[in-house]
């Protein structure tokens, strides 16, 4: 898959999806065309403007575990969110190798779901959580 097609798939997978914390934040697609080699957590933090900040590494399954699980109390909107998170997870697993989740910072936390494109560049989606 070409990079432009992958970027469009990620946009479709996150269209209208919000990450819920103390604020509701949209997802934005990220793509670093020049980044080759291993996905270095510190380099990613630097690219996001968090030099020296704390980084927490999560697996895709750990990050998405509660987001893709329907609950008895879910209404139609929450069920739709669950389906959209499943779509996002499927898109990431299908098209990005070495995919992982980075939580960078404290209180205002950048969340980055990132992996390697078929051409070896870095791509994924980014959102933010506010945790006080």
**Could you tell me the two tokens for 110?**
């950048």
Least confident of 42-46, 107-111, 115-119: 42-46
* Closest to 58 in 3D by CA, of 21, 100, 99: 100
Chain mean position to CA 44: 13
What pLDDT was estimated at residue 47? Answer: 77
Distance CA 88, CA 92 (A): 6
* Closest to 31 in 3D by CA, of 9, 50, 15: 9
pLDDT at 3 over 80: no
What pLDDT was estimated at residue 36? Answer: 66
Question: What tens digit of pLDDT does each residue of 48-101 get?
Answer: 777 677 889 999 999 999 999 988 898 898 899 999 999 999 999 999 999 999
> What is the pLDDT of the chain when averaged over all its residues?
89
DSSP code for 96: -
Domains of the chain: 3-130 (3.40.1460.10)
Chain mean position to CA 121: 16
Distance CA 31, CA 4 (A): 10
Least confident of 19-23, 43-47, 68-72: 43-47
* Claim: this prediction has a pTM higher than 0.85: yes
pLDDT band at 124 (very low <50, low <70, confident <90, very high): very high
Helix axes 3-14, 76-95, angle to 10 degrees: 160
Distance CA 94, CA 120 (A): 15
What pLDDT was estimated at residue 54? Answer: 86
């Amino acid at each position: 898959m070409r990079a432009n097609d992958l970027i469009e798939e990620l946009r479709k997978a996150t269209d209208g999806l919000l990450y819920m914390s103390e604020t509701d934040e949209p997802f934005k697609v990220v793509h670093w065309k020049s980044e080759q080699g291993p996905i270095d957590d510190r380099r990613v933090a630097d690219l996001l403007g968090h030099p020296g900040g704390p980084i927490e590494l999560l697996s895709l399954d750990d990050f998405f575990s509660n987001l893709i699980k329907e609950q008895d109390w879910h209404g139609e909107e929450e069920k739709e969110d669950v389906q959209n998170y499943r779509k996002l997870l499927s898109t990431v697993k299908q098209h990005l190798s070495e995919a992982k989740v980075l939580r960078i910072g404290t209180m205002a936390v950048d969340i980055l779901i990132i992996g390697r494109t078929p051409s070896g560049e870095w791509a994924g989606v980014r959102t933010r959580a506010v945790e006080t």
